[in-house]
Structure 1
Amino acid sequence: MSEDAPTGLFVTFEGGDGTGKTTQAGLLDAWLREQGRTVVRTREPGGTEVGVLVRDIVLHHRGEVSARAEALLYAADRAQHVDTVVRPALERGDVVIQDRYLDSSVAYQGAGRVLGAGEVRDLSLWATAGLLPHLTVLLDLDPAAARRRLDAADKPFDRLESEASAFHERVRTAFLALAEADPGRFLVLDAAQDASVLAADIRARVEALI
Structure 2
Amino acid sequence: MNGLFITFEGPDGSGKTTQIARVAAELSGLGLPIVATREPGGTAISDKIRSIILDPENREMADRAEVLLYAASRAQHVEEKIIPALKEGKIVLCDRFVDASIAYQGHGLGLDVHTVAEVNRFATGGLVPDRTYLIDVPVSVTEARLRARAAADPALSLDRIESKGSEYHERVRSSFHAIAEANPERIVPVRGDRSPDEVFDDIIRDCESLLAERIKR
TM-score, structure 2 normalization: 0.92
Query: What residue number does 2:15 align with?
Result: 20
The correspondence of residues 1-210 of structure 1 with structure 2, limited to 5 A, is 7-60=2-55, 62-63=57-58, 64-154=60-150, 155-210=156-211
Structure 1 portions without partners, runs of 5+: 1-5
Provide the C-alpha distance between the structure 1 equivalents of 2:199 and 2:185, rounded to a whole number of angstroms. 18
- Map Cα deviations across residues 118-143 of structure 1 (whole Å, 9 max, x no partner): 21112111111110100100011101
Structure 2 portions without partners, runs of 5+: 151-155, 212-217
Partner SS state of residue 159, structure 1: coil
Provide the C-alpha distance between the structure 2 equivalents of 1:197 and 1:22, rounded to a whole number of angstroms. 15
- Map Cα deviations across residues 63-94 of structure 1 (whole Å, 9 max, x no partner): 31110000000001111100110000001000
Provide the C-alpha distance between the structure 2 equivalents of 1:116 and 1:190, rounded to a whole number of angstroms. 28
Partner SS state of residue 41, structure 1: strand
Query: What residue number does 1:3 align with?
Result: none
8 Å Cα contact 2:41/2:74 also seen in 1: no
- Map Cα deviations across residues 91-119 of structure 1 (whole Å, 9 max, x no partner): 10000000010110000000111112221
Deviation at 1:197, TM superposition (A): 1.1
Provide the C-alpha distance between the structure 2 equivalents of 1:7 and 1:113, rounded to a whole number of angstroms. 37
Hey, which bits of structure 1, 4+ residues long, moved more than 2 A?
Answer: none
Q: Could you tell me the percent identity over the aligned residues?
A: 44
Deviation at 1:61, TM superposition (A): 5.2
Provide the C-alpha distance between the structure 2 equivalents of 1:189 and 1:202, rounded to a whole number of angstroms. 8
Partner SS state of residue 9, structure 2: strand
Deviation at 1:29, TM superposition (A): 0.3
Deviation at 1:7, TM superposition (A): 2.8
Partner SS state of residue 125, structure 2: coil
Root-mean-square deviation (CA), in Å? 1.1
Amino acid at match of 2:28: R
Partner SS state of residue 193, structure 1: coil
Provide the C-alpha distance between the structure 1 equivalents of 2:56 and 2:2, rounded to a whole number of angstroms. 37
8 Å Cα contact 2:36/2:93 also seen in 1: yes
TM-score, structure 1 normalization: 0.95
Aligned residues: 205
Amino acid at match of 1:49: A
8 Å Cα contact 2:67/2:101 also seen in 1: yes
Deviation at 1:179, TM superposition (A): 0.4
